[in-house]
C-alpha cells in the first residue's frame, strides 16, 4: 500500500463508489404501465379519493394512482418550484382558488397546466357544470382547471338564540332587514350579529361578489375601485367600525368555536364546505344551528355568493394526459362517486346533474334537520362569476389595506367625507396592483 | 549509468512528492466544489437575475436597472424597510439592555439557582421561530387569550378583552417585538454572561480600592471589558432583525398583517419571488437587503470603535 499512502479505507471507498455507480447506471428504475401521481391539499378530499381510487384502478387495469397529501400552504410553492425546475411534477394537482391564478403568469406556452378548453367543450362539461365556476381557472379565455365545487354561500345562525329573541328569519329578505335585526341583537363587547372583519378582505369579498363586483374583470384588469366596490365598502365599514357596529371577528380555529358556543357571534358566513367544519369543530351547538340564504342587497336580488374553491389541473409534464383526464372526470363528475361524497364533505359538486341524488335531500340534525344539500343546490345556479389573475394574491392584500384605511378613517371622522375617502383609498390600492401588472413584460 | 533500483526509487519519490504537493488541494476540493456550485454560483446568478424580469427561471426579459428603480418607488418596499428598521431598533435597544441586565443578575455569586434561571431564560431559543410564532398567536388571541386576560385584570377597561394584537395595525409591531424579546433575550444573555465572566477580577478589586461605586465600576470596568462581545451581539441582532421572516409570517397568518404592519423586507422578497413569481425582482430585493445590512454593520463597527479595538 506504499503506492497508495491514503490507506486501504480510501481505496475501499473508491472501489465501492465505482461499483455502486456502475450498478445504479445499469439498473434504471422501472415504471409500471402507468402511474398517475396526484397531489391534493385538503384532508377531506384525500380521504374521499382514497376510498374512490380502487374503483378507478379496477376500471383501468395496469394503472396505479399515487395520491399524495401536500400541506395547503406548501402545495403552491412546491408546484411553482416543480414547474420552474421541470422536476417532481405530478400528473394532476388540486389547487386552491386563491392561488390558481399565480400559475397563469407568463405566456400561455409557459403555463404548467394543460389547456383543457377543448376537452371541456367536447365532453359536454361546459354545459353540465356550473359555468361560473370555470372563471377562476381561466386565463386569456382558456380553461386550465376543472372546478371541484360551487361553494355557494348562505348564513349559518344560532337558531336557538334567534328564536329566544323572537326573530323570524323568513322576514329577513334584504341586508337592510338583517342590519335592523342586528342592531337589536348586538350587545357591544358581548354579542355581535355577524362575523365580519375589519383587518382584511376575507369576509368582505363574498359581499363584493354578491353585488357582481370582484378583483379583476375577464380580461385581467384590476377593477376593485369601481362603483360596486365603493358602494360595498361604504356599506360594510360602518357595520364593523362605527357606533352602530353589528359585526366582529376574533379569528378562526378554537377561538371561533368558543365565540359561537358562547353566542358571541350569532351569524357566520357559510359556504357549503364550512358547514362541515362547523359540524366537526363546534359540536356543542348541534341542533341549535340553521342556515338561511344571504339577504339580498336589493329586493329580489341575488341571495347567495361564493367563497373558496378547488380545481384539478393536468400538468404539461404528464406522460399520460388522456388517462389523467379520465381520472379528473372520475373524481369530479362521475355521479356514482361525487353524489354520495356529499354526506362526508357537505360540498356541492360543480356538475349540476349530480344534485338529484338522495344524499342532497337528507335532513341534517346538526342543522336543525334542514336539508342543507337541497338548500345549497337551490341557490347554486346563481353563484356569481369571479375572475382571476397572476396578481390575485396581491390584489387581495391591497383590498385588505384599503379596508383597514377606511376603517381607521371612519373610526376617526365617521360619515364626514367618508365616500370620497373610500374612493381614494380603493383607487390607490388598485393603482398599486395596476403598477405591478404594467411591469409584467409577458 | 543509473541502476534500475535507483530509477524505481526516483519514480516513487516523484510520485510521493507530487502527492504531498497536491494532497491539500485534493482535501479542500470537495468544499470548494460544493461551495462554488451551491454558494458562489447562486450568488452570481442572483446578481445577474436582478437585471431581468422573470417568470420563474425559464422566461426572462432584460430590464437593466429597472428592478432597482421600481424598488425604491414601491410603497410596499418602503413600508417593509420601515417596519424592519423599527423592529431592528427595538430589538437592539430593548433586547440588549435586557439581556445584559439578566446576565449581570445571573453573574452575581449570591444569586441562588443561577443554573436554573440560565436554562429558563435561554430555553425559548431552543423552540424555533415557527413554534414560538404559533405559541404567541394563541397568547395574543382577543377575548380569550392570556395576554389580554392578564392585562385586563391589571389595567381594567383601558385594555379591552377583545384587543386585537395581531389584527390592529398599531399593535402588530409591539406584539412582534414582545415575542422576539421573549425569544432572544436569554440567547444574548449567554453571550454577555460569558463576557462578564472573562473580565479580569483584578480590575474590580482595583476599582474597589480606588473607591469607585457600583455605577462607576460598571461604566469604567465592566462595559469596556465586554465591549467586543457587546459589539458582536449588537451586529448579530441587527442582522437577525433585518432577516426577520418566520415570526410575522406565522403570527400574521402567512401575510403582512393588517395594513402591512408586519411586512418585513424578507417577507416582501419571498412574496415577490414565490407568490408573484418574479425571481429577478426578488433578487434585486435580496441584493439591496444584503448591501443595506452590510452598510449598517460597517457603521455600527465604526461607531462603536470596533475597528480601532481590532487594530490595537
Number of separate domains in chain A: 2
Residue A199 lies in a domain: yes
Q: Does A430 touch chain B (CB under 8 A)?
A: no
pLDDT tens-place string over residues B196-212: 998 988 999 999 898 88
Query: Is B142 in Cβ contact with A251 (below 8 Å)?
Result: yes
Q: Are B221 and B195 in contact (CB under 8 A)?
A: no
Residue A8 lies in a domain: no
pLDDT tens-place string over residues A98-153: 889 989 988 888 899 999 999 999 999 999 999 999 999 999 999 999 999 999 99
Residue A163 lies in a domain: yes
Q: What is the dihedral of CA B126, B128, B133, B135, to 10 degrees?
A: -40
pLDDT tens-place string over residues A53-99: 999 999 999 899 999 999 887 888 889 888 888 888 999 999 999 88
* Closest to B282 in 3D by CA, of A77, A163, A339: A77
Of A376, A401, A423, which marks where a domain is finished? Answer: A376
Q: Does B142 touch chain A (CB under 8 A)?
A: yes
> Is A6's pLDDT higher than 70?
no
- Do A325 and A273 have their domain in common? no
Interface predicted TM-score (ipTM): 0.77
A199, A406, A412: best mutation site toward chain B, by most B Cβ within 10 Å? A199
> CA-CA distance, B206 to B287, in Å (whole number)?
50
Q: Are A134 and A143 in contact (CB under 8 A)?
A: yes
Print the domain residue range for A359: 36-150+307-376
Query: Is B143 in Cβ contact with A106 (below 8 Å)?
Result: no
Closest alpha carbon within chain B to A425:
B259
CATH code, domain with A95: 3.40.190.10
- Do A218 and A338 have their domain in common? no
Cα separations in angstroms, A189 against A192, A243, B65: 8, 12, 52
Domains, in order of start, for chain B: 2-49 (no CATH), 66-311 (1.10.3720.10)
Query: Is B59 in Cβ contact with A106 (below 8 Å)?
Result: yes
Residues 137-166, chain A, touching B (beta carbon < 8 A): none
- Do A264 and A278 have their domain in common? yes
Q: Say what the pTM is.
A: 0.83
Residue A211 lies in a domain: yes
- Do A288 and A315 have their domain in common? no
- Do A229 and A96 have their domain in common? no
- Do A172 and A124 have their domain in common? no
Of B70, B144, B276, the CB nearest to A394: B276
Ranges of residues in chain B whose predicted pLDDT is under 70 = 1-13, 306-312
- Do A169 and A286 have their domain in common? yes
Q: How many interchain CB pairs under 8 A, A with B?
A: 96
> Is A372's pLDDT higher than 80?
yes
Residues of B in contact with A401 (CB under 8 A): 259-260
Residue A4 lies in a domain: no
> CA-CA distance, A15 to B72, in Å (whole number)?
57
- Do A46 and A146 have their domain in common? yes
Residue A322 lies in a domain: yes
Residue A130 lies in a domain: yes
Residues of B in contact with A2 (CB under 8 A): 12
Residue A215 lies in a domain: yes
Bridge partners (DSSP) listed for residue A67: A38
pLDDT band at A339 (very low <50, low <70, confident <90, very high): confident
Of A376, A399, A414, which marks where a domain is finished? Answer: A376
List Cβ neighbours of B233 (8 Å cut-off, separation of 6 or more): B96, B99, B188, B191, B192
Of A346, A376, A406, which marks where a domain is finished? Answer: A376
- Do A70 and A208 have their domain in common? no
Q: Does B19 touch chain A (CB under 8 A)?
A: yes
- Do A94 and A177 have their domain in common? no
Show the CA angle centred on residue B276, arms to residues B272 and B277, nearest 5°.
90
Q: Are A150 and A133 in contact (CB under 8 A)?
A: yes
Amino acid at each position: 500500500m506504499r503506492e497508495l499512502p491514503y490507506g486501504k479505507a480510501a481505496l475501499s471507498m473508491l472501489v465501492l463508489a465505482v461499483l455502486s455507480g456502475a450498478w445504479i447506471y445499469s439498473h434504471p428504475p422501472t415504471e409500471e404501465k402507468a402511474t398517475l401521481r396526484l397531489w391534493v391539499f385538503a384532508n377531506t378530499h384525500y380521504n374521499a379519493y382514497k376510498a374512490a381510487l380502487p374503483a378507478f384502478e379496477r376500471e383501468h387495469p395496469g394503472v396505479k394512482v399515487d395520491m399524495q397529501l401536500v400541506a395547503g400552504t406548501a402545495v403552491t410553492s412546491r408546484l411553482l418550484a416543480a414547474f420552474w425546475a421541470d422536476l417532481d411534477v405530478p400528473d394532476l394537482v388540486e389547487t386552491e382558488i386563491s392561488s390558481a391564478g399565480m400559475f397563469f403568469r407568463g405566456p400561455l406556452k409557459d403555463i404548467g397546466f394543460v389547456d383543457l378548453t377543448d376537452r371541456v367543450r367536447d365532453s359536454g362539461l361546459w354545459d353540465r357544470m356550473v359555468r361560473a365556476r370555470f372563471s377562476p381557472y381561466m386565463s386569456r379565455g382558456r380553461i386550465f382547471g376543472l372546478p371541484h365545487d360551487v361553494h355557494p354561500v348562505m348564513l349559518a345562525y344560532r337558531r336557538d338564540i334567534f328564536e329566544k329573541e323572537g326573530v323570524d328569519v323568513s322576514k329577513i329578505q334584504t341586508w337592510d332587514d338583517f342590519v335592523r335585526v342586528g342592531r337589536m341583537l348586538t350587545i357591544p363587547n358581548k354579542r355581535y350579529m355577524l362575523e365580519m372583519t375589519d383587518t382584511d378582505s376575507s369576509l368582505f369579498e363574498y359581499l363584493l361578489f354578491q353585488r357582481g363586483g370582484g378583483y379583476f374583470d375577464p380580461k385581467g384588469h384590476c377593477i376593485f375601485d369601481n362603483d360596486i366596490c365603493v358602494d360595498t365598502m361604504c356599506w360594510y365599514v360602518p357595520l364593523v367600525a362605527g357606533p352602530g357596529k353589528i359585526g366582529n371577528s376574533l379569528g378562526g380555529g378554537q377561538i371561533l368555536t368558543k365565540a359561537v358556543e358562547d353566542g358571541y357571534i350569532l351569524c357566520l358566513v357559510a359556504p357549503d364546505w364550512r358547514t362541515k367544519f362547523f359540524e366537526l369543530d363546534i359540536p356543542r351547538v348541534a341542533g341549535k344551528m340553521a342556515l338561511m340564504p344571504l339577504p339580498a342587497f336589493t329586493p329580489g336580488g341575488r341571495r347567495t355568493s361564493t367563497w373558496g374553491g378547488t380545481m384539478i389541473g393536468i400538468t404539461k409534464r404528464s406522460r399520460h394526459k388522456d388517462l389523467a383526464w379520465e381520472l379528473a372526470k372520475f373524481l369530479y363528475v362521475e355521479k356514482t362517486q361525487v353524489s354520495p361524497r356529499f354526506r362526508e364533505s357537505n360540498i356541492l359538486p360543480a356538475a349540476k346533474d349530480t344534485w338529484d341524488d338522495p344524499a342532497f335531500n337528507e335532513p341534517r340534525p346538526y342543522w336543525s334537520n334542514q336539508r342543507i344539500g337541497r338548500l345549497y343546490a337551490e341557490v347554486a345556479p346563481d353563484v356569481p362569476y369571479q375572475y382571476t389573475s397572476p396578481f390575485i394574491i396581491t390584489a387581495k392584500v391591497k383590498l385588505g389595506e384599503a379596508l383597514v384605511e377606511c376603517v381607521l378613517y371612519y373610526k376617526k371622522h365617521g360619515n364626514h367625507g367618508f365616500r370620497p375617502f373610500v374612493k381614494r383609498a380603493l383607487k390607490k390600492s388598485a393603482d398599486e396592483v395596476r403598477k405591478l401588472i404594467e411591469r409584467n413584460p409577458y | 549509468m543509473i541502476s534500475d533500483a535507483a530509477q524505481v526509487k526516483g519514480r516513487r519519490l516523484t510520485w510521493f512528492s507530487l502527492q504531498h504537493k497536491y494532497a491539500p488541494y485534493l482535501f479542500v476540493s470537495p468544499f470548494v466544489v460544493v461551495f462554488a456550485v451551491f454558494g458562489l454560483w447562486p450568488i452570481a446568478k442572483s446578481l445577474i437575475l436582478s437585471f431581468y424580469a422573470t417568470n420563474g427561471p425559464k422566461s426572462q426579459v432584460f430590464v437593466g436597472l429597472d428592478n432597482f428603480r421600481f424598488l425604491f418607488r414601491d410603497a410596499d418596499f418602503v413600508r417593509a424597510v420601515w417596519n424592519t428598521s423599527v423592529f431592528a431598533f427595538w430589538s437592539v435597544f430593548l433586547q440588549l439592555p435586557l439581556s445584559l441586565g439578566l446576565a449581570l443578575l445571573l453573574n452575581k455569586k449570591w444569586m441562588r439557582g443561577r443554573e436554573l434561571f440560565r436554562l429558563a431564560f435561554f430555553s425559548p431559543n431552543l423552540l424555533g421561530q415557527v413554534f414560538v410564532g404559533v405559541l404567541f398567536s394563541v397568547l395574543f388571541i382577543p377575548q380569550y387569550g392570556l395576554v389580554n386576560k392578564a392585562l385586563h385584570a391589571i389595567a381594567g377597561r383601558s385594555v379591552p378583552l377583545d384587543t386585537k394584537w395581531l389584527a390592529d395595525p398599531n399593535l402588530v409591531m409591539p406584539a412582534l417585538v414582545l415575542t422576539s424579546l421573549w425569544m432572544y433575550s436569554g440567547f444574548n444573555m449567554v453571550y454577555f454572561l460569558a463576557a462578564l465572566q472573562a473580565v479580569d477580577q483584578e480590575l474590580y478589586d482595583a476599582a474597589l480600592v480606588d473607591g469607585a461605586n457600583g455605577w462607576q465600576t460598571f461604566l469604567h470596568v465592566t462595559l469596556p471589558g465586554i465591549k467586543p462581545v457587546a459589539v458582536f451581539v449588537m451586529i448579530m441582532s441587527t442582522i437577525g432583525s433585518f432577516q426577520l421572516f418566520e415570526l410575522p409570517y406565522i403570527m400574521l397568518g402567512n401575510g403582512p398583517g393588517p395594513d402591512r404592519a408586519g411586512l418585513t423586507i424578507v417577507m416582501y422578497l419571498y412574496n415577490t419571488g414565490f407568490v408573484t413569481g418574479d425571481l429577478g425582482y426578488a433578487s434585486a430585493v435580496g441584493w439591496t437587503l444584503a448591501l443595506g445590512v452590510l452598510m449598517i454593520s460597517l457603521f455600527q463597527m465604526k461607531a462603536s470603535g470596533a475597528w480601532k479595538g481590532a487594530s490595537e
